[in-house]
Amino acid sequence: MKSEPTLLVIDDDPEVLATVGHFAEGFGFKVVIRTNARAALAELAFLKPDAVLVALRMPDIGGLEVLRAVRDLAPACQVILITKHPSVDTAIDAIKLGALDYINKPFDRERLGGLLIGIRKSIERRERLLRVDVDVAKTFAFQGLIGRGPAMQELFDSVRRFAPHARTVLVTGETGTGKELVARALHTLGARPDRRFVAVNCSAVVEGLFESELFGHQRGAFTGATDTKMGLFEHADNGTLFLDEIGELPLTIQAKLLRAVDLGEIQRVGSVEGRHVDVAVIAATNRDLRAAAADGRFRSDLYYRLSVIEIHIVPLRERREDIPYLSAVFLRESSDRLHRPTTGMTAAAERMLLHASWPGNVRELRNVIERACLLSDGKMLSERDVQAAMPGAAGTPAPPVLDVARPRAGSPLDQDIVTDAQRAQVEHALQEARGNKAGAARLLGISRRSMYRRLEHLGMSCARSGASKRAIRGTHPN
Ligand SMILES: Nc1ncnc2c1ncn2[C@@H]1O[C@H](COP(=O)(O)OP(=O)(O)OP(=O)(O)O)[C@@H](O)[C@H]1O
Ligand SMILES: [Mg+2]
């Protein structure tokens, strides 16, 4: 864990601030003190406290409102309330709303010390849990594929079993399920891992050029064939040729492919001479090749030849047990690569990922986590970050939940407090950045797009400060 957790103390009583501040430093906290709750909330994104100690009653806003706002703006942060006239009801309310605990004034030093130790321990526990998550997830990796559940464990077994001997394999599965990773794993664990792995995407090859691409051509074989060219089969000789989206292969080429797979024999276009190649062929498709073969859209002899060994990858929605493991690894990768502070996600965010339908499978999950990581303000990915990163959320006119505090059963005041705090936060950032929205977004640690959405939600798209008004005019073509 980082060496010094930050404790934010909010109270209008200077005596409290002085004693608690000094005392907490003795327990290894970096202490930040504020007398104005509203201003303190506005600074949350900058202060990034690990814990907040806040007075229940203050002139501007109460501790319970601060608690609600902190839960929304910094869900991983622990909150303890300072009460003067303790009532059981308030204490229960506070705990229900997610406070860690409460403490009475004047302070009992022993109890305060106990609470501070409790906070440190829970921060340590949280960080330990997160770390273990990623490390544990990585122990379920196989050749770059993460899979915890029985479906993937069986798939890993099949790859281990078939790779050393298989000469042709058909890998099937929906888009984004990891077919190319499986193909690469088969090659790496195969008999000749040091030889070439040549990948060709059949849907990207111009129809008339297939034969020359795969088998090569002689100089002058057709208009434009100015040189003799080696085809991909020869290029992959002694190694592996990966034919992605094999379902897109024209029928005319399929007979020649069968000959190459069956007999290891190819012919360059324009040449009468047959050549021998020794290539392991792995084909992949997201289409139902059996059905295509049954109604004549794909040669059935080629289909049967290719599918002697078939490895099917189950769609992500049918192996949801893998999602938390994949998410943990993708989150770590994204935050490292994008230099973001995000180290974990809230339980609500994890739940949302777990229950989504994932038509784009693992690729889509990876993309959503990367986008959420860019949108996130702090250390923990929130449900809202994930929601905003889901396909369909961005660009649609009014996404359901987006940088907007979730409406909940509590009083309308909660909403106002959160919105006010967000507004103050944004104003503060705009001031710091002299009205430059991109700069303000950077200060807040959010994307520019997220910044615009936030401004719109807060009714600030026409900018509130003079500085930002100028910035808008400056960027306008007129
Ligand atoms: N089990 C997995 N563990 C880790 N990453 C995975 C896993 N499955 C897929 N991925 C990642 O998801 C992305 C898509 O994988 P891949 O390209 O292999 O899918 P595909 O099935 O070939 O998709 P398409 O049909 O669209 O070509 C890649 O970034 C890959 O690294
Ligand atoms: Mg692919």
Mean pLDDT for 201-217 is: 91
State the burial class of residue 266 (Cβ atoms within 10 Å of its Cβ: 0-12, 13-18, 19+).
buried
Output the pLDDT for position 396: 29
Q: Specify the CATH superfamily of domain 6-136.
A: Response regulator (3.40.50.2300)
Measured in angstroms, how far is the CA atom of residue 241 from the centroid of ligand 2? 14
User: What is the Å distance from ligand 1's center to 450 Cα?
Assistant: 28
Q: Nearest CA to 146 among 332, 355, 387, 287?
A: 332
Confidence of residue 477 (pLDDT cuts 50, 70, 90): very low
Which residues have a Cβ under 8 Å from the Cβ of 17 and sit 6 or more positions away?
9, 11, 33, 35
CA 192–ligand 1 middle distance (angstroms): 23
Please give the Cα distance from 461 to 21 (Å, whole number).
39
Ligand lying closest to the C-alpha of residue 366: 1
The answer, yes or no, to whether any atom of ligand 1 lies below 6 A from the CB of 327, is no
Which residue out of 143, 145, 169, 181 has the highest number of ligand 1 atoms within 8 Å of its CB and is therefore the one to mutate? Answer: 181
Q: Which ligand is closest in space to the CA of residue 177?
A: 1
Nearest Cα residue to atom 15 of ligand 1: 178
The reply to whether ligand 1 has any atom less than 6 angstroms from the CB of 231 is no
- The predicted model gives 410-429 an average pLDDT of 64
pLDDT (tens digit per residue) in 77-95: 889 999 887 666 777 778 8
Question: Is domain 321-369+377-391 in CATH 3.40.640.10, yes or no?
Answer: no
Q: Which ligand is nearest to the CA of 360?
A: 1
Query: Is residue 391 reached through a cis peptide bond, with omega within 30 degrees of 0 on the bond before it?
Result: no
* Dihedral pair phi/psi, residue 217, rounded to 5°: -150, 160
Q: Which of 4-18, 144-158, 193-207, 260-274 has the lowest mean pLDDT?
A: 4-18
Quote the mean pLDDT of the chain.
Answer: 83
What residues have a C-beta under 5 A from ligand 2, the ion? Answer: 180
Hey, what CATH topology would domain 150-316 get?
Rossmann fold (3.40.50)
pLDDT at 189 over 50: yes
pTM: 0.61
Range from 117-121, 223-227, 350-354, 369-373 that averages highest in pLDDT: 369-373
For residue 416, what pLDDT band results from cuts at 50, 70 and 90? low
Residue 407 confidence (pLDDT) above 70: no
Query: Could you tell me if the CB of 137 is within 6 A of ligand 1?
Result: no
Name the β-bridge partners of 82.
Answer: 55, 103
Q: Using 50, 70 and 90 to split pLDDT, how confident is the model at 126?
A: low
Q: Of 238 and 320, which is predicted with more confidence? A: 238
d(CA 174, ligand 1 centre) in Å: 10
CATH 1.10.10 matches 412-473: yes
Among 175, 177, 317, say which to mutate for ligand 1: greatest number of ligand atoms within 8 Å of CB.
177
What distance in angstroms lies between residue 384's CA and the mean position of ligand 1's atoms? Answer: 26
Q: Whose CA is nearest to atom 25 of ligand 1?
A: 175
CA distance 366 to 326: 8
Q: Do the strands 6-10 and 30-34 form a parallel or antiparallel pair, or are they unpaired? A: parallel
- Residue 332: predicted pLDDT: 92
User: Atom 8, ligand 1: which residue's CA is nearest?
Assistant: 178
CB of 361 closer than 6 A to ligand 1?
Answer: no
Residue 193 has pLDDT above 80, yes or no: yes
Residue 194 CA, ligand 2 centroid: distance in Å:
22
Domain parsing of the chain, residue ranges: 6-136, 150-316, 321-369+377-391, 412-473
Query: Is the confidence at residue 159, as pLDDT, over 50?
Result: yes
- Among protein residues, the one with the nearest Cα to ligand 1's atom 5 is 145
Atom of ligand 1 nearest to the CA of 313: 21
Q: Which atom of ligand 1 is nearest to the CA of 180?
A: 18
Does 146 contact ligand 1 (Cβ within 6 A)?
yes
pLDDT of amino acid 24: 93
Give backbone dihedrals phi and psi of 269, rounded to 5 degrees, phi first. -60, 130
Cα–Cα–Cα angle for 450, 456, 457, rounded to 5 degrees:
90
Instruction: Give the CA distances from residue 28 to residues 5, 43, 44, 261, 474, in Å, rounded to whole numbers and listed in that order.
Output: 7, 22, 20, 68, 47
Give the separation between CA 364 and CA 375, rounded to whole angstroms.
16
Whether 321-369+377-391 and 6-136 are alike in CATH topology: the answer is no
> Which is more confident, 417 or 35?
35
On whether the CB atoms of residues 187 and 193 are closer than 8 A, the answer is: yes
CA–centroid distance, residue 199 to ligand 2 (Å): 10
CA–centroid distance, residue 179 to ligand 2 (Å): 6
Please give the sequence-ordered ranges of beta strands (E in DSSP) within 165-253, or none if there are none: 168-172, 197-201, 216-217, 229-230, 240-244
C-alpha of residue 293 to centroid of ligand 2, in Å: 21
